């Protein structure tokens, strides 16, 4: 097996994309995702580490390097991260390369707890003398879809009945249209309309909306352009008399629908427009033959109304057996024990 290292995403992108399609990887493991992410958020030097056996690409591990640290190119906008591998041998080779670089620290975020590469990383870390810290930082809901199911049954009879009554009241208020744009010719105009709606209300106040940051806006525009060309983009709109009152930014591949962002007009809160649009999107995913509906993000109460299944996302850190590595480990442990819970309590109080 041959290991190659690239300082850009483009050189291995074609083979990387082919590997992603062969293995059924989610959109956020494909090169187009990172090609949108890096210009918006990238800090340090990009690295794309590949494993090739007999001329066939079998593994890819995107990383970034800065000041002796090898880290995942991830942030709060990353649903999940991990090496993309065809088999255990490729995972082992990629993990071995990471620790052969003698990093001070390896820092991987949003790693799925079930990722097959984690055991290879743990073994390679142990061989190099690194201490590993793994912490579950998020439970991310997903729904397993059943062909032909009535998604209203997920809510229970009473909640489903209430939602139907809300829909009837909305229809009494004007003409209602649910539409999902897949390859829109007016992409920029639709994104402007959707992002304006997504930033209304509390998201703008907290600074978490797409339009709150130039880098975040750049990422989602770039992501939409790539996804549109790849046939993955799903822009959902609920309109009342032609005026958008709810919006969803999603991606869909052969196996799942991924809900990345959404928002609604607070002036129409009484009609639960976000929930109505979400219900329509899930029903559409069932009709399209998708196997899962990935709600992404944290396990918020409204998401758990639709499913109790959750992925566990983990923070993975390894520390070199050096003075600097030991200091890093002490700092990170103190943050996870004291700083992070304090920050979460402060955020809860603010909300």
Say if residue 119 is in the same domain as residue 6: yes
pLDDT of 250:
98
The CA distance from 312 to 205, in Å, is: 29
Q: What percent of the chain has pLDDT over 70?
A: 91
CATH of residue 80's domain is: 3.40.630
Say if residue 215 is in the same domain as residue 338: no
The CA distance from 318 to 46, in Å, is: 20
Say if residue 170 is in the same domain as residue 117: no
Say how many C-beta atoms besides its own lie within 10 A of residue 76's C-beta. 10
Do 325 and 319 touch, CB atoms closer than 8 A? yes
Query: What would the mean pLDDT of 22-35 be, rounded to a whole number?
Result: 97
The verdict on residue 318 lying in a domain is yes
**245-299: per-residue pLDDT in tens?**
999 999 999 999 999 999 999 999 999 999 999 999 999 999 999 999 999 999 9
Say if residue 208 is in the same domain as residue 103: no
CATH of residue 191's domain is: 3.40.630.30
pLDDT of 34:
98
Say if residue 318 is in the same domain as residue 209: no
The verdict on residue 305 lying in a domain is no
Confidence band, pLDDT 50/70/90 cuts, at residue 209? confident
Say if residue 107 is in the same domain as residue 205: no
pLDDT of 208:
78
Confidence band, pLDDT 50/70/90 cuts, at residue 139? very high
Which residues, in sequence order, are CB contacts of 327 under 8 Å at separation 6+? Answer: none
Say if residue 196 is in the same domain as residue 79: no
The verdict on residue 345 lying in a domain is yes
Domain hosting 10: range is: 2-139+312-350
Do 226 and 32 touch, CB atoms closer than 8 A? yes
Say if residue 50 is in the same domain as residue 74: yes
Identify the bridge partners of residue 59 per DSSP, sorted by sequence position.
51, 85
Task: State yes or no: pLDDT of 333 exceeds 70.
Answer: no
b or e along 296-319 (b: 16 or more beta carbons within 10 Å of the residue's beta carbon)? bbeeeeebeebbeebbebbbbbbb
Q: Please give the C-alpha separations between residue 141 and each of 125, 298, 308, in angstroms, as whole numbers.
A: 30, 7, 7
Longest dimension (CA), the chain: 69
Say if residue 150 is in the same domain as residue 184: yes
Query: What would the mean pLDDT of 161-171 be, rounded to a whole number?
Result: 96
Do 50 and 12 touch, CB atoms closer than 8 A? yes
pTM, whole model, 2 decimals? Answer: 0.91
The verdict on residue 90 lying in a domain is yes
Say if residue 103 is in the same domain as residue 200: no
The CA distance from 11 to 9, in Å, is: 6
The verdict on residue 302 lying in a domain is no
**36-47: per-residue pLDDT in tens?**
999 999 999 999
pLDDT of 304:
96
The verdict on residue 306 lying in a domain is no
pLDDT of 336:
64
Look at the chain and report how many structural domains it folds into.
2
**C-alpha gyration radius of the chain:** 22
The verdict on residue 238 lying in a domain is yes
Do 257 and 290 touch, CB atoms closer than 8 A? yes
Q: What's the chain look like in SS3?
A: CEEEEECCCCCCHHHHHHHHHHHCCCHHHCHHHHHHHHHHHCCCEEEEEEEEECCEEEEEEEEEEECCEEECCCCCCCCCECCEECCHHHHHHHHHHHHHCCCCEEEEEEEECCCCHHHHHHHHHHHHCCEEEEEEEEEEEEEECCCCCCHHHHCCHHHHHHHHHHHHHHHHHCCEEEEEECCCCCHHHHHHHHHHHHCCCHHHHHCCCHHHCHHHHHHHHHHHHHHHHHCCEEEEEEEECCEEEEEEEEEECCCEEEEEEEEECHHHHHHCHHHHHHHHHHHHHHHHCCCEEECCCCCCHHHHCCCCCEEEEEEEEEECCCHHHHHHHHHHHHHHHHHHHHHHHHHHHHC
Identify the bridge partners of residue 61 per DSSP, sorted by sequence position.
49
Confidence band, pLDDT 50/70/90 cuts, at residue 339? low
The verdict on residue 51 lying in a domain is yes
pLDDT of 77:
96
**180-195: per-residue pLDDT in tens?**
998 778 999 999 999 9
Say if residue 133 is in the same domain as residue 150: no
Say if residue 124 is in the same domain as residue 167: no
């Amino acid at each position: 097996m041959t290991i190659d290292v690239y300082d850009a995403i483009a050189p291995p992108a074609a083979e990387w994309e082919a590997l992603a399609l062969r293995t059924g990887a989610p959109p956020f493991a494909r090169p187009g995702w990172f090609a949108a992410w890096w210009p918006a958020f990238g800090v340090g030097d990009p690295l794309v580490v590949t494993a090739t056996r007999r001329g066939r690409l079998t593994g890819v591990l995107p990383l970034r390097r800065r000041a002796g640290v090898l880290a995942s190119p991830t942030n709060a906008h990353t649903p999940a991260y991990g090496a993309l591998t065809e088999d255990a041998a490729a995972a082992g080779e990629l993990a071995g390369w990471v620790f052969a670089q003698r990093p001070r620290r390896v820092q991987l975020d949003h790693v799925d707890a079930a990722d097959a590469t984690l055991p290879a990383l743990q073994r390679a870390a142990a061989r190099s003398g690194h201490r590993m810290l793994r912490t579950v930082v998020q439970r991310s809901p997903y729904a397993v879809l059943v062909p032909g199911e009535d998604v209203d049954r997920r809510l229970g009879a009473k909640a489903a009945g209430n939602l139907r009554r809300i829909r009837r009241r909305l229809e009494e208020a004007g003409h209602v249209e649910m539409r999902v744009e897949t390859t829109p010719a007016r992409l920029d105009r639709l994104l402007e309309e959707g992002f304006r709606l997504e930033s209304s209300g509390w998201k703008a106040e907290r600074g978490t909306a797409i339009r709150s940051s130039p880098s975040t806006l750049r990422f989602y525009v770039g992501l939409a352009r790539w996804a549109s060309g790849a046939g993955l983009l799903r822009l959902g709109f609920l309109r009342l008399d032609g005026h958008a009152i709810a919006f969803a930014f999603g991606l869909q591949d052969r196996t799942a629908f991924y809900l990345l962002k959404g928002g609604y007009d607070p002036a129409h809160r009484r009609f639960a427009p976000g929930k109505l649009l979400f219900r329509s999107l899930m029903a559409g995913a069932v009709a399209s033959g998708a196997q899962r509906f990935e709600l992404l993000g944290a396990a918020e109460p409204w998401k758990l109304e639709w499913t109790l299944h959750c992925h566990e996302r983990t923070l993975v850190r390894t520390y070199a057996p050096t003075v600097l590595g030991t200091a890093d480990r002490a700092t990170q442990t103190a943050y996870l024990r004291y700083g992070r819970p304090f920050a979460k309590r402060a955020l809860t109080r603010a909300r």
